[in-house]
A and B are shown apart, each in its own frame.
Chain A
Amino acid sequence: MYGLKPDPCVLEVPDKYYSTGDYEKGVARWCPGCGDHSVLSAVQKLCQEKQLPPEKTVFVSGIGCSSRFPHYMKTYGFHGLHGRAFPVAEGVKFRRPDLNVFVVTGDGDCLSIGAGHWIHSIRYNMNLTVLLFDNQIYGMTKKQTSPTSPMGTISNTHPHGSVLPPINPIQTTLGVSNVSFVAQTADWLPGHLYATIKAAHEHQGFSFVKIMMRCTKFLPEEAKKMVGDKEHMTLLQHSDGIEVDMATANLFKHTVQHDPADIHQARAYSEDPEMSYLGLYYRDKTAPRYDLYGAHNLGATSEQKLKVLEEEFDKFAV
């Protein structure tokens, strides 16, 4: 959109150039150190870099700390119901393929109350950028067990520790038919976070990004541990994967080459109990997209509609 056209002598001049400030609204009311802040910065930077027109960009969320996100973006936003961001976002995208639609959802929002919609939205494979803010706890309602809370997590609903193994969102997403983009990143690795969100946005389809998040308020110890734990984190690298700068790559102690076309290896990594893999697990650019099916039949003229009505009345005429 910007810069030089194929003819290097012609400069494309935008009618408006957006700065990061054009996407910022108000002061985010998350706790200090909460991972949500870093995602907000990364997303604002992405909007600026991609020069997404604010009026053509919609952030749809559910309910939770993370779902407050749209209120801090100077774009269109839809802060809807707990667990129901996906259907709303799908309705927007289906009707308006021209809009950039992002979904912001929490681990409770997406994986518990919204789990049915989550599974189906993977299969619909509409062009949505999905950011799962996985802080492994219910933040907004003050520390209840979440579907991703590790077994033994002490919470207000399980004072002696949670009793079930957590849901593995990456594994599950990779198990749904028509899955088209699955990546993982972490809020405390800004370079990786940005590169991942950017790759997700560039993917034409349902891009599912699980963001490992710190809830400094309710899981402060875990938050500290996660940030410092280089032993259990591996960077997924590949020429077809998500490109990160040297400085970011150097933050990792372990690195593996992983071809994002290899769903079996992706699943194997997702199921590794000892290790979190960051980067692109899987991408399929050819998966059928439901929003394209939707777009095929928009924009009929009044004349066409009138004609069909008359045809139908002929059919029902006596």
Chain B
Amino acid sequence: MQPQPTTTAPGANPVQRSRKSISQHIVEIVSDSGEGAQKAGQSFGAICAKMGNGVWTVEIIPSDIQPPPRTKESTSGIRIRIGSGVITNAGDEADIVIAFNEIAPYSRIEQDAYQPGTKILLESMWATHDDEEVRENYTRAITDFKKLGFDVYEVPMQEECLKLVPDARRGKNMWVLGLLCQLYNRDIEIAADQIRHTFRKKTQNVIDVNLQLLQGGFDWAGQHLDFLYDLPPTLGGIDQVVMNGNEALSLGIIASGIEVCSMYPITPATSTSHHLAECFERAGGLVHQAEDEIAAIGFAIGSSYSGKPAVTITSGPGLALKTEFIGLAVMAEMPLVIINVQRGGPSTGMPTKIEQSDLLAVLYGQPGDTPKIVLAPSTIEECFQFVILARQIAEAFRTPVFILTDSNLATGVQPFARPKPRKEWFAPPVDQSPWPQGLNPYEWDSSNGISKRPIPGQRGGEFTVTGLNHNKEGKVSYLPEVNQRSSTMRSRKLAAFAKTLKPPQVYGEDHGDLLIVGWGSTRGAIEEAVDRARAEGIAVSSVHLRFMSPFEPDLAKLFKNFKKVITAEINYSDPVDDEFIAPEHRRYAQLAWVLRARTLVDIGCFSNVHGQPMRPNSILNAIRSITQPQNA
């Protein structure tokens, strides 16, 4: 279909279409599951990225598997944040909401996703529904929304779609995509290409119908909406890919040359293995779905032991089950990559919600002394890169390496520069040459704790791996000096690895009134809050840690340049002013605990367990109340 100039339908009121220029906006499409809101949102995000705009999308997932329709529990959808420049997080309250029914916005209102001034474009078919209760609900909702200060626009989505297709339920999403393209002045030809791409495996007829729906929504918005925007792109010109953090992890696994992923299904980690299983069929490799998480890591260890490092991927409850094997991997010095996509905890917690509560469990959660290397990607691009890095560290240091991500990264979708994979990223072939004569299986180099590992198949390297303490010959030994030495050698690897790290980059000035320390997926929100606070004249900076064990160097020195240092994290801490809590009993957020112990700096924390991404505005408010307590 060729792009057509928008025409005024007979009887429609032509409106004045002056476009307001904006630098960023947040759109939500909310519906019942199965109505294609997510597909529309992803397509819209891709169109924006293609035009050179910054994008972050995140899916809104129903809390039940089969919730009854038109309930708060059944709300499904997507948030798309678009900007002129790079967008690094899901942002604060939405500007535009497209609602397929009047119930869906309620669940988002509960999560403070909207604010006065938010525009709700509401499907109007419910106004004339056969069921009186539905009609009443609809009217009540409009009153509620207006009371909350939202601007409500009734949009005849169903009616308009029925002009083009017999079943509006399967097409409304593309009509809405057309509406959004008009609203934000998108290039309709790029949008049409996106539809052709999305439906490339479908018949020409399906593509044509969807193109008509796109144009239908586009034209309708042009004729009926009295607010239209312009979002000038400033990016572009580089090849980009757009994916979520779990997909980035799975491509990272392939790019690292890892060939075995052993797992047991658990939200929100599982989707990584779905994508990986499909890719491995072509790239060589296997996803093993084990009988439980203990078996999953045992299998990965067996596979690492006899070949290239393997990966096991899990989330909180699964991490708990893997504990004993993690200890063995440290003790036996087994190269292994362990990915933990954090979710809400403890116990089964909130499987689909966002939390960063496993840091201490990963660092210290195993009985005995278990030094290990822990990485925490802070962007989706880093989810890809850090697997490649982790595999190399695991092999070079003969140790398990953790990657800690979270639901926010797992489900967030962001464009990044298309990687240029190189053969050097892949694990080298398994060494099967004869084992050097006289070399011990744990011939520790005292300067770095590293020793070369014999791999089955290497003649002359025969030895027995054991979780019992052992000497450099691999022989079981409980002698005091042997246990002291082997413990020292396992620990020394961290010291040696730490030497390879550079001090982290400070965002903002390297001194000031306040430093915010973050880790993982909160990076974008923290830096955005810092930008806003600095614009208000507050001397705040941030630093984002990506190596959790060992830390990057010179943190204590950096912290001393600020009057106050706090962490911002999505995990539990006692409030400072809680009447029930004596200062020495206060429980800090997890990174804050570790940093306080390491640096002896009196580091505070801003944290919550709302299960939501941290919002720039909430961090900004925290910054304000710390730096300007009198105004707070």
Contact = CB atoms under 8 A, between A and B. Distances in A.
Do the two shown chains form a genuine complex with each other? yes
A79 B468 contact: yes
Contacts of A92: 302-303, 305-306, 456
A120 B243 CA distance: 35
Interface in A114-138: 116-117, 119-120
A106 to B, nearest CB: 16
A318 B283 CA distance: 23
Most buried by A among B240, B296, B421: B421
B341 interface: no
Interface in A33-77: 53-56, 58-60, 70-71, 73-77
B108 interface: no
Contact of A88 (B239, B279, B302): B302
Nearest to B458: A55
Interface stretch (B139-147, B255-263, B562-570): B255-263
Given A55-B458, A81-B325, A306-B421, A94 B476 contact: no
B463 interface: yes
B241 interface: yes
A231 interface: no
B390 interface: no
Contacts of A76: 454, 456, 461-464
B306 A297 contact: no
Interface stretch (A95-103, A150-158, A261-269): A95-103
B457 A90 contact: no
B310 interface: yes
Interface string B440-470: 0000000000000010111111111111100
B86 interface: no
Contacts of B297: 87
Contact of B302 (A53, A70, A95, A302): A95
Contacts of A56: 456-457
Contacts of B296: 87
A91 B299 contact: yes
Secondary structure type dominating chain B contacts:
mixed
Given A117-B291, A297-B285, A308 B279 contact: yes
Nearest to A73: B464
Given A90-B302, A96-B307, A79 B464 contact: yes
A312 B241 CA distance: 9
A310 interface: yes
B423 A316 contact: no
The interface size bin for chain A is 35 or more
A87 B255 contact: no
A5 interface: no
Nearest to A120: B291
B72 interface: no
A208 interface: no
B306 A99 contact: yes
A96 B242 CA distance: 36
Contacts of A304: 282-284
A294 B306 CA distance: 14
B513 interface: no
Contacts of A54: 459, 462
Given A89-B302, A300-B285, A309-B255, A99 B279 contact: no
Contact of A298 (B259, B310, B456, B461): B259
A297 B456 contact: no
Contacts of A316: 241-243, 247
Contact of B305 (A88, A300, A302, A311): A88
A225 interface: no
Nearest to B239: A317
A52 B218 CA distance: 72
Contacts of B254: 305, 308-309, 312
A86 interface: yes
Given A77-B463, A94-B260, A55 B300 contact: no
Nearest to B46: A318
Contacts of A117: 291, 294-295, 298
B325 A96 contact: no
A78 interface: yes
A87 B290 contact: yes
Contacts of B299: 87-88, 90-91, 94
Contacts of B279: 308, 312
Contacts of A96: 306-307, 456-457
Given A77-B463, A304-B283, A317 B241 contact: yes
B90 interface: no
Contacts of A88: 298-299, 301-302, 305
B415 to A, nearest CB: 6
A71 B292 contact: no
Contacts of B262: 91
B338 to A, nearest CB: 14
Nearest to A55: B459
A80 interface: yes
A55 B430 CA distance: 14
Given A99-B306, A302-B423, A55 B286 contact: no
B49 interface: yes
Most buried by B among A81, A307, A316, A318: A318
B418 A313 contact: yes
B492 to A, nearest CB: 24
A301 B423 CA distance: 10
Contacts of A78: 302, 305, 464-465
A122 to B, nearest CB: 11
A166 B314 CA distance: 35
B619 interface: no
Contacts of B240: 317-318
A312 to B, nearest CB: 6
B130 interface: no
B436 interface: no
Contacts of B583: none
Most buried by B among A55, A58, A60: A55
Nearest to A124: B291
Contacts of B460: 55
Contacts of A228: none
Contacts of A294: 286, 288
A87 B456 contact: no
Contacts of B301: 80, 88, 91
A98 B418 contact: no
B324 interface: yes
Nearest to A309: B421
Interface string B310-343: 1000000000000011001000000000000000
A89 B303 CA distance: 9
A84 interface: yes
Nearest to B327: A81
A116 B292 contact: yes
B298 A81 contact: yes
Interface in B236-268: 239-243, 247, 251, 254-255, 257, 259-260, 262
B423 A91 contact: no
A274 B492 CA distance: 60
B284 A300 contact: yes
B283 A300 contact: yes
A305 B457 contact: no
21 contacts: A71-B476, A79-B465, A81-B328, A88-B305, A90-B302, A91-B262, A91-B301, A91-B310, A94-B260, A95-B260, A99-B456, A99-B457, A116-B292, A298-B286, A305-B426, A306-B421, A308-B283, A312-B279, A316-B247, A317-B242, A318-B241
Q: Which 5 A-B pairs have the closest CB atoms?
A: A300-B284, A91-B302, A87-B298, A77-B464, A91-B303
Given A95-B306, A96-B456, 14 more contacts: A53-B459, A54-B459, A58-B306, A59-B464, A78-B302, A91-B305, A91-B306, A116-B292, A297-B281, A298-B285, A304-B283, A306-B421, A313-B251, A318-B241
